[in-house]
Structure 1
């Protein structure tokens, strides 16, 4: 039977089928508390309208804020821009019912930044990439 299987790249329809399938399974086990995915995606611009930072995230169906990417342009780092957009998104997420925030970063990216913003390390992968660590963080939003 396994020898008869074919593995091939996904089409958009395949991706939808996979997402729908895992959502159906998950929601059968634990009912949703909110919409399946509520995007929270924001950009920060300077006074000249130039994009200097952005945050891509969303609220999952169990009211968890998942931060995928937080970027601040070189020259604007360590000036409070990252904290400002992070706090902004956390506030909106809480207003929409999120109770926890989660993300991952690397030791060469923003480990210290997230710790300064009250995120707690909950796990890590050592030596990935080689000589570094990938760190997973969470933060309770209702405290």
Structure 2
């Protein structure tokens, strides 16, 4: 089948609550594309997911951070601590562990987005600099984009 006919026969569908296996196809494809686009240096093949967990005395996960390293960048995805674990340095320790692990795996900077009702002051207190803002994301609030050099 020629490419034009193949393109004409493709179906486009929009779905709510799509299957994780189908989402993974898109994510893996984009990851491969991004890695190929990165320069051929020590950063180009680094693509890992990472997490830093805060555990109770019983070993139960009570909070922490998820992130990924790709093309020399640490992308902080989710960070959450229960109320009783905030404001006493635990968050800084969690963030520092993630940054250390990222540096060990070739990352030179860390990027994060946070909303106006979340943790911008926390990230700025830990060396992150504001590089962009989008108002009304979510509506009535703002999303901030921050970066920190790790090298």
Query: What TM-score do the two structures reach when normalised by structure 1?
Result: 0.82
Residue in 1 that maps onto 2:91: 82
From 26, 33, 39, the equivalent of 2:34 is 26
Deviates more, 1:122-131 or 1:25-34: 25-34
Consecutive unaligned residues in structure 2, runs of 5 or more: 1-6
User: How far has the Cα of 1:112 moved from its partner?
Assistant: 0.5
Q: Is 1:137 aligned to 2:143, yes or no?
A: no
**Unaligned regions of 5+ residues in structure 1, if any?**
none
1:11 to partner: Cα distance: 4.6
Deviation at 1:99, TM superposition (A): 0.4
Question: Is the Cα contact below 8 Å between 2:114 and 2:143 reproduced in 1?
Answer: yes
Of the structure 1 ranges 99-108 and 26-35, higher mean CA displacement relative to structure 2 is found in 26-35
Larger gyration radius, structure 1 or structure 2? 2
How many residue pairs align between the two structures? 141
8-17 or 97-106, larger mean C-alpha shift: 8-17
Aligned with 1:58 (options 52, 60, 68): 68
